[in-house]
Amino acid sequence: RQRCLTLALETSCDETSAAVVADGRVVLSNIISSQIPVHQKFGGVVPEIASRKHIENVMAVVDEALSVAGVGLTDISAIGVTYGPGLVGALLVGVSVAKALAFAADLPLVGVNHLEGHIFANFLSHTALQPPFIALVVSGGHTSLIQVKDYHSFELLGQTRDDAAGEAFDKIARVLKLPYPGGPHIDRLAQQGNPAAIAFPRALTGQKNFEFSFSGLKSAVINYIHNAEQRGERIPQADLAASFQAAVVDVLVDKTMHAVRQCQVNQVVVAGGVAANSALKTALQEACGAAGLALYYPDPILCTDNAAMIACRAYYHYLQGDLADLHLNARPALKL
Ligand code: KG4
Ligand code: ZN
């Protein structure tokens, strides 16, 4: 049987990525050109620079994705691209290139929601995984609980009212003068600290909703640091990192378990950059183990932004005949 190959592009933030996936589940190539070193000196992503770097890199990344997969454009069945949510200028680069390729090679074009892509990364790492499940999407831009009913039907149960989980990690890391992105550094530092050392707030827990709020936690940590500095005390960096991280993790686990009970599913899927957090993983393993639930994580390389997850999502759109046309535009605030 002829394999169905999807080529996809991802340029929603600071990674320029292109990938080729076979039959929706097998990664043939997944080229990721990270701009992290470029943005590091600014302590965060600078949108204008991100767009420019995407333009400089995108064609080489597409060429490499095709050559690593050992295929040409004529072997491809459909071209997928992230069209939102994300930085508008960054998204436009991927959308424009995908449209040009689809037009030039006369191929179907598929627009992909970045959040759905993060969830679908799990289908690449777990080839037997099938919906329904609850998805916890935790990244630099999002903190959302989603009920995935099948490959095409998703319900947003709730999301953050303010900062995303990853954003909170990055902001606290910045206050502690750790490099960007701060999540992995907090994670590492926390391993030497006591998570019960400082009692930080766990906002909106024990409530019958699926909303999150991390801005109060962020302020509490920053206040703690300022007060300690004013008293001339040393900042207990590891204890602070561990206690902050425990507050985030407690809330994420509490809300995820509440979603599982309400939706009566027996599978939990985690996605997004913060899925790499070791304390979150341990806590979810414990909670899911105790409740008899199966827990799924993408491989680490598929947790952060990449085009393979977009190619996977594009495949299922393509199967449904759910295609875009050359009017496809970037949608920075695209909803699920
Ligand atoms: O999914 P992603 O690559 O980009 C977005 O779509 O936002 O997520 C990046 C985020 C950053 O905020 C980064 O600090 C966080 O994921 N992150 C982590 C860890 N690894 C990455 N946060 C906590 N612990 C980690 N180990
Ligand atoms: Zn992302």
CA of 84 to the centre of ligand 2 (A): 10
Split at pLDDT 50, 70, 90, the class of 36 is confident
**What's the pLDDT tens digit per position in 210-262?**
999 999 999 999 999 999 999 999 999 999 999 999 999 999 999 999 999 99
Q: What percent of the chain has pLDDT over 70?
A: 100
**What's the pLDDT tens digit per position in 122-134?**
999 999 999 999 9
Q: List every span in the chain annotated with CATH 3.30.420.40.
A: 5-120+303-319, 131-298
Residue 1 has pLDDT above 80, yes or no: no
Q: CB under 6 Å to ligand 1: residues? A: 13, 139-141, 166, 169-170, 181-184, 187, 272-274, 276-277, 304-305
What ipTM does the predicted assembly reach?
Answer: 0.98
CA of 72 to the centre of ligand 2 (A): 27
**Ligand 1, atom 16, residue with closest C-alpha:** 273
CA of 259 to the centre of ligand 2 (A): 22
Name which CATH class applies to 131-298.
Answer: alpha beta
**Substitution candidate for ligand 1 out of 30, 113, 139, 303 with most atoms within 8 A of CB:** 139
Query: Looking at residue 206, what is its pLDDT?
Result: 83
Q: What percent of the chain has pLDDT over 90?
A: 93
Binding residues: 114, 118, 137-141, 170, 183, 187, 277, 305
The pTM assigned to this predicted structure is 0.94
Give the span between the Cα atoms of 173 and 167, in whole angstroms: 10
Query: Looking at residue 208, what is its pLDDT?
Result: 83
Give the span between the Cα atoms of 213 and 207, in whole angstroms: 12
Pairing of strands 143-150, 133-138: antiparallel
The crossing angle, in degrees rounded to 10, of helices 237-263 and 278-291 is 30
- Structure-block tokens of residue 94: 């991927």
Could you confirm whether domain 5-120+303-319 is CATH 3.30.420.40? yes
**What's the pLDDT tens digit per position in 253-267?**
999 999 999 999 999
